[in-house]
Amino acid sequence: MQRSSERILTTHVGSLVKPDDLQDMITAREVGQPYDSAALAARVTSAVAEVVRTQADVGIDVVNDGEFSKSSWGAYFRTRLTNVEARPGQRSTPGYIFDREERRFPDWFSAARAGGGPSFSYVLRAGAAARGRPLTGIQGAFCTGPLNYVGQAEVQADIDNLKAAGAHVNVQELCMTALAPTIMSYFLKYEHYSNDREFLFAIAEAMNTEYRAIADSGILLQLDEPAILTNWHWMTDASLAEYRAWLAVQVEALNVALRGIPPERVRMHSCWGSIHHPHTDDIPLADVIDLILQVNVGAYSLEASNPRHDHEWQVWRDVKLPEGKILIPGVIGHFTDFVEHPRLVAERIVKYARVVGKENVIAGVDCGLGTRVGSESIQWAKLGSLAEGARIASRELWG
């Protein structure tokens, strides 16, 4: 994993806005409409090449495939595991990641539901409706038997597309996202396993195949694991001590899932959820960071720039980043379509560099932008501001 040895490197979390024609093909596949599988595969390949080139052009150093082959970041696993059954209209999640806050702000949530529900971006929702595109959800997945990984061909196609695209651009590294066990256990309800722990570790064992394939290919693996923070919201009756005990088990499962993979080939992204709700009840980073740092990865990507978490750089005054590890704070946000000024971005980077060491910081994004900002043009403006802010910070830090 590259470090910021001479300047602050930049990256982002995952999803980017798909081209409309590609999204239409994927939507058709997901809802069972006729589609041309060969045409879809070819369009994924060309779209990945385009998005990798654009990331390089705007100044992103560690780039990914925009998650362009995936139906959504939280649902793609359904075709990669045995005995996973999609049931449209049936809910499989145990709660919502705003349950604690809905008790405090019932008027806000009532109004949000009247407008179509708490959403990532009402602009994107309106755009999908205007195109007659159904909003494919990530709920309604059920485990009906033993989980085994069968997505080898799919992940290999993703690897091949990203490596082919990366061969033609000047970037530091390639990165690919994969769902982590705890967030999968949130979206997927089990009917086969006898208890939560057995189910969680079955996911960990099965997904190790995907994680190894990515890491072994020479591409950095990014585990997407927001649930270790967001599950606090729907576990409404849990005390902090009880939540930490639960989290310790999740960390154990994460390390099982990463068995055989060098930590320096993996980074993990965690956040407090991307839905636009009040976020007054997010669990504080200081309450759980010691457990998060026990996950055997080389870098920790954390939401850091939105108004509820912008102050948490101060946590690192008291918590030492382990030797050899990298911190990837989000220094631009998904919570607003405001495009952050590069000097604000630089200010955020420098704050982190001063407390954990400049060589230990890579500038990142709070969460995936693809379904969370109002347009593709805003997405690229934000990433351009990230790159310019990193250049400003680098001049200040290195002189």
Per the structure, the complete domain to which residue 197 belongs is given by 9-398
Q: Has residue 2 been placed in a domain?
A: no
More reliable by pLDDT, 114 or 16:
16
Q: Identify whether 4 is part of a domain.
A: no
pLDDT of residue 373: 85
Task: Classify residue 362: in a domain, yes or no.
Answer: yes
Q: Does residue 360 sit within a domain?
A: yes
What does the pLDDT average to over 75-82? Answer: 93
3 domain residue, yes or no: no
Q: Is residue 1 part of a domain?
A: no
| pLDDT exceeds 90 at position 210 | yes
Establish if 53 belongs to a structural domain. Answer: yes
CA distances from 10 to 53, 95, 169, 362, 365 (A): 15, 34, 15, 6, 9
Mean pLDDT across the chain? 94
Q: How confident is the model at residue 1 (pLDDT cuts 50, 70, 90)?
A: very high
Which pLDDT score, from 0 to 100, does residue 117 have? Answer: 74
- In tens, the pLDDT along 91-119 reads 899 998 899 999 999 999 999 888 777 77
Q: How many domains does the chain have?
A: 1
For residue 272, the domain's CATH number is: 3.20.20.210
pLDDT, tens digit, 9 for 90 and up, residues 219-262? 999 999 999 999 999 999 999 999 999 999 999 999 999 999 99
- pLDDT band of 121, cuts 50, 70, 90: low
| pLDDT given at position 325 | 98
pLDDT at 277 over 60: yes
Question: Which amino acid type is present at position 76?
Answer: Y
Is residue 133, in this structure, part of any structural domain at all? Answer: yes
Cα distance between residue 263 and residue 215, in whole Å: 10
CB atoms within 10 A of CB 38: 8
In this prediction, residue 13 has a pLDDT band, given cuts at 50, 70 and 90, of: very high
Give the model's confidence band at 139: pLDDT under 50 very low, under 70 low, under 90 confident, else very high.
low
What pLDDT sits at residue 122?
Answer: 65
